[in-house]
Structure 1
Amino acid sequence: MGRPTRSVSGPAVAESEPDAGDHAQNGGMDDHPDPPSLRAPRLRPGDRVRIVAPACPPSREEANRGVELLTSWGLRAELGEHVFDQWGYLAGRDEDRAGDLNAAFRDPGVRAVIAARGGKGTYRIVDDLDTAALRRDPKPVVGFSDITHLHLALWARCRLAALHGPFAKRGDPFTGRASAEALRRALMTTDPVTLHRDPSEATADVSVPGTATGVLMGGSLEAIRTETGAGLPSLRGAILFLEHRRGTGLGEVDRALTQLTRSRALDGVRGVALGQFLGFEHDADDPTLGGWGIGDVLRDRLTALGVPVLGGLPAGHGNNPPTIPLGTRATMDTATGTLTVLSAVV
């Protein structure tokens, strides 16, 4: 791409941020010490795990598969009171979904909280979470897609390290054996997680060479965009992980990244790790789009940040997703095509 190789390392998200003048002088580098991550104890056989539905309701079959999977690891799985409620397209009223989360956060016997599914609605309840309970008694929270709202809120308010991982299901085409094993290891061991660039992913050829180190944050691009100006924590010093599933087309990605840039939410990021951007495979063949595909939009918007960009990570809304710690220190290297992240549990 003709850009010099960059190496960016240093602290991740700072509790206090430099003003615009400081930012201009240090080129977006944050000189504050790393904020501590609040990491929960790893799970052990016999621990209780609560499945909740912060967004849309699962089917009973899906929930039963989740219980079966967790039980196979020696854990004691249980369901939140309102998991099967339905209020429109949501898993019950806002107060009930938030109540299920808070009940799990406050119960000292519950050692992890796993979302039953995503969809819509988590953004409606993030202001009602009892984060003080998690500060006293941290426990890992697992999910992705709409659950990104939950991860961002918990990091912003109590620095909880979380897991961008699949919804608990067993034998589901989406969550195969390798994906389930990755979730188990992320919950029950302290091993770091390493993702490798997959040349077959749509974002694989999006790259700005270099290395970066910082706390990994992010998830669903749409969720991150929605939280801009509301509950989005500072991304200064972080490695930002982004994934997305197509809605209206290339313009939605362009709008989201432009909004994040114009709002200065991306100021000071140390690197960008791109996961799956699904559903854009044929855009380059559409004559109305001028030959552009998803890689062109991402390249156009992200290279201007002047930080390393690693595309092609096989993580997002595709089948057999990995489990990725969020809120812990990560190292990204475009030469080796790897992103390595420290465990979210201790």
Structure 2
Amino acid sequence: MNSRLTAPVTYKVHSAVPALPAGGVIGLIAPAGPAELDLERATQWVNAHGYSLRVFDGVWEKDGYLAGSDAVRLRDLHAAFTDDSIDAIFCLRGGYGCPRLLDGIDFELLRRHPKPFVGYSDITALHLAITRYAGFVTFHGAMLNADLLGGKQEPTQSSLLRMLTGEQGAVLEHPSAYPLSTLAPGSARGRLLGGNLSMICAAMGTAFELDSDDIILFIEDVNEPLYRVDRLLTQLRLAGKLERVRGVLVGDVAGVDAVALERLIRQELGPLGVPVLSGWRSGHCDPNLTLPMGALVRLDADQQQVVLEQVVVDTANIKSSSP
């Protein structure tokens, strides 16, 4: 393991990151799988929202099922954080590859250069690691290819941009067209952590596993049949990762029958005695809403709300985009 983690510090409080300023620069990296980037469309999307785009070199590489070698992808991750001209970091896509980077990340370097970092799916591995060892909020949200250039419906884009610019209010909006289900009643306060369920379980037994004490656990997944979702939840339970959670927010589990999933969730999570809210549109779904990982939130399953209880982006000292 990287010597930087021989005496790890686990952060229990996660600080806000600088807000994305008007006219700011979005850095695009590919820390996981490869994808063909339509640079013209990407630039048009970014420019249309008032920003400029910087594409890091690894986006153009391909190493089998990886977007470049581990060294290239790690280099771009570090460079995107340390480059002071970059105001936010977007990921090209998920797939696979992020876990291979974890023991090479310089978390102290990231801690000195906090900025919005956005992605989901395989990017969950980076969310878990950064929130744990760098101590700032990250964002489980839309990626460039599948979401922002993929034609996903609103409020996918507005949810992301409101969150990064500081325009998001305390109550996170959820589209009424997609009803939520209260699977266990109550209200609880805790740090929002989690992401892709398969990736959460893959990190178990490593220095980067989920620190589940006093959290609101968020889970989502895709291409996992019901019995495998059952197996993953059982793994979390047997590992003791559910014993001290304060609440559970269930996102989209794409490809699984909703009624059967709710029955499984009630069986597995009901005995915890904590609020459980299901059906949140975040993850491999359309729309895909942005969630702040590491942020202190209140989960109100009775009112079917997620409420921010801390500032997640700092607009007080926002960087000017002018020369």
Question: Is TM > 0.5 for Structure 1 vs Structure 2?
Answer: yes
1:1-346 aligned at under 5 Å gives the runs 35-61=12-38, 63-168=39-144, 172-191=149-168, 192=170, 194-196=172-174, 200=178, 204-205=180-181, 207-230=183-206, 231-247=208-224, 249-281=225-257, 293-341=260-308, 342-346=310-314
Provide, for residues 275-315 of structure 1, a one-character-per-residue CA deviation record: whole Å limited to 9, x for no partner.
Answer: 11111128x7xxxxxxxx22222111111222111112122
Q: Which residue of 1 aligns with 2:319?
A: none
Q: Sort the Cα spacing of 1:269 and 1:199 in 2 relative to 1 into closer, same or farther, 3 A.
A: farther
In 2, Cα distance between equivalents of 1:171 and 1:42? 19
In 2, Cα distance between equivalents of 1:343 and 1:74? 23
In 1, are the aligned partners of 2:120 and 2:196 still within 8 Å (CA)?
yes
In 2, Cα distance between equivalents of 1:118 and 1:111? 21
Q: Sort the Cα spacing of 1:298 and 1:177 in 2 relative to 1 into closer, same or farther, 3 A.
A: closer
In 2, Cα distance between equivalents of 1:178 and 1:198? 11
The TM-score normalised by the length of structure 2 is 0.86
Count of paired positions: 302
- Partner secondary structure for residue 18 of structure 2: coil
The TM-score normalised by the length of structure 1 is 0.81
Shift of 1:223: 0.9
Shift of 1:238: 0.7
Q: Sort the Cα spacing of 1:187 and 1:92 in 2 relative to 1 into closer, same or farther, 3 A.
A: same
In 2, Cα distance between equivalents of 1:64 and 1:224? 35
Please tell me the residue identity of whatever aligns with 1:178: P
Provide, for residues 156-178 of structure 1, a one-character-per-residue CA deviation record: whole Å limited to 9, x for no partner.
Answer: 10112011110135874443353
In 2, Cα distance between equivalents of 1:181 and 1:200? 17
- Partner secondary structure for residue 87 of structure 2: strand
In 2, Cα distance between equivalents of 1:84 and 1:257? 37
Shift of 1:150: 0.6
In 2, are the aligned partners of 1:65 and 1:168 still within 8 Å (CA)?
no
Structure 2 stretches lacking a partner, 5+ long: 1-8, 315-323
In 2, are the aligned partners of 1:152 and 1:218 still within 8 Å (CA)?
yes
In 1, are the aligned partners of 2:141 and 2:282 still within 8 Å (CA)?
no
Shift of 1:86: 0.8
Q: Give the aligned CA root-mean-square deviation in angstroms.
A: 2.2
Please tell me the residue identity of whatever aligns with 1:339: V
In 2, Cα distance between equivalents of 1:140 and 1:260? 29
In 1, are the aligned partners of 2:116 and 2:139 still within 8 Å (CA)?
yes
Q: Which runs of 4+ in 1 moved over 4 A?
A: 197-201
Shift of 1:338: 1.1
Shift of 1:136: 1.2
Structure 1 stretches lacking a partner, 5+ long: 1-14, 17-33, 285-292
In 1, Cα distance between equivalents of 2:103 and 2:55? 23
In 1, Cα distance between equivalents of 2:173 and 2:204? 27
Shift of 1:199: 8.0
In 2, Cα distance between equivalents of 1:70 and 1:209? 41
Q: Sort the Cα spacing of 1:319 and 1:156 in 2 relative to 1 into closer, same or farther, 3 A.
A: same
Shift of 1:190: 4.8
Shift of 1:128: 1.4
Identical amino acids, percent of aligned pairs: 33
Shift of 1:35: 3.0
In 2, are the aligned partners of 1:165 and 1:323 still within 8 Å (CA)?
yes
